[in-house]
Amino acid sequence: MNERVGRRGFLLSGAVVGAGALVSACTSNEPAAAPSSSAAPQSAAAGTDNDKPGTKVVIGFSAPAADHGWIAAIAKNAQDVAKQYSDVEFKPVEPTNDINQQISAVESLIAAKVNALVILPNDGEQLNQVARKAMDAGIPVINLDRVFPDKLSYRTWIGGDNYGMGVAAGTYIGKTLKDKGVTNPVILEIQGIATLPLTQDRSKGFADALKTFGFTVTAKQDAKFTVESGTQVAGNLLQAHKKIDAIWNHDDDQGIGVLAAVKEAGRNEFFMVGGAGSANAMREIQSDGGVLKATVTYSPTMASSAVKLARLIAQGKGLSDLVEQQVPQSITLASETITKENVQKYLPLGFES
């Protein structure tokens, strides 16, 4: 993502944690991983006091335009979980990839005096000031994934783990190759946008994990998070490397193009790992008919959890499973590896790309 590309403009980071499970929270300020989903998550633990109707609250919501499967799922998950609560009025503003328009939209929610704000900014740095304005007005901001640089600009941050995605992918690839007795493997990496911090975090996690097995990345190239670029980049890499052992593709949406190039080339001597946890990727893994054998999650269910957190904070509640009285300041979701063995469990959470 350029700082505004679809879902990935976040300065951070993938895996699976159902929004219903809310957040088995970690109190880290670093991003971590998230779940996979476009399906509405199940309600939180049945019968907890937190699920009982409480004070009526209005939750404002702002996110980029749904120009990508992951971003579309973010908006859907947020709206679907809000409908589960009779004490929540969900007030979304028009999604946009224009920074100034998103600032104006957030200002309209501040003027409307909503009880809490969930914001996935196009760019955390550029929307930092308006988020701070909301906080200064007494409106708690739940910062979703793309972080605001000023901690005074948000009450709670929740997001995924880009570094953890890389570690998960590298661990799966490294172990699989070791188990097969492969030495000096040819390992390719297809990134999103190489200049982004989130991409760099993913690549570092991948390299660090491979290093524990004595492996390194043979070649890498970025594919801009688009299907078209995925096809082109994969085609170039396939042509340049006559034998490949494994590929990690950072993004399941661009992975549609990557798999198209693989099919076109008639190559199947390697295996591939995807990223994010799209339903398309999960179905491909389930069929076990091609090179895609796993994907590591960065799930849009984090938006469902963000709305749940906004409700709790606005009502002055904490997380029922924690001893502390208040919702944590930072929640990092865990990145999980989806394979043929566990894909059935995750399919209901996969987002459509």
**Dihedral (Cα; 302, 306, 308, 314), 10-degree rounding:** 170
Model confidence at 28: pLDDT above 70: no
- Dmax (CA) of the chain: 63
- Give residue-wise pLDDT tens across range 130-162: 999 999 999 999 999 989 999 999 999 999 999
Higher-pLDDT residue of 291, 197: 291
Where residue 48 falls among pLDDT bands split at 50, 70, 90? low
Is there a common fold for 7-161+300-335 and 162-297?
yes
Average pLDDT for the chain: 88
CATH class of 162-297: alpha beta
Where residue 91 falls among pLDDT bands split at 50, 70, 90? very high
Give the mean pLDDT of 74-99.
97
Model confidence at 29: pLDDT above 60: no
What is the reported pTM? 0.80
Number of H helices, E strands in the chain: 10, 12
The residues pairing with 332 across neighbouring beta strands, listed in sequence order, are 159
Where residue 21 falls among pLDDT bands split at 50, 70, 90? very low
As a whole number of angstroms, the distance between CA 273 and CA 324 comes to 38
Predicted pLDDT at 335:
96
As a whole number of angstroms, the distance between CA 214 and CA 120 comes to 38
Predicted pLDDT at 49:
80
- Give residue-wise pLDDT tens across range 122-135: 999 999 999 999 99
Share of the chain above pLDDT 70, in %: 86
Model confidence at 108: pLDDT above 80: yes
Model confidence at 64: pLDDT above 60: yes
AA identity, residue 231:
T
Give the mean pLDDT of 267-289.
97
Residues 6+ apart with CB under 8 A from 197: 11, 12
Residue spans of alpha helices (H) in 28-140: 69-82, 99-111, 128-136
Residue of 54, 158, 63 whose CA lies nearest to 101: 63
- Give residue-wise pLDDT tens across range 251-276: 999 999 999 999 999 999 999 999 99
Share of the chain above pLDDT 90, in %: 80
Architecture of 7-161+300-335 per CATH? 3-Layer(aba) Sandwich (3.40)
Residues 6+ apart with CB under 8 A from 160: 10, 12, 13, 14, 15, 31, 32, 33, 34, 145, 298, 299, 302, 332, 333, 335
Give the mean pLDDT of 324-353.
95
Domain ranges of the chain: 7-161+300-335, 162-297
Model confidence at 2: pLDDT above 70: no
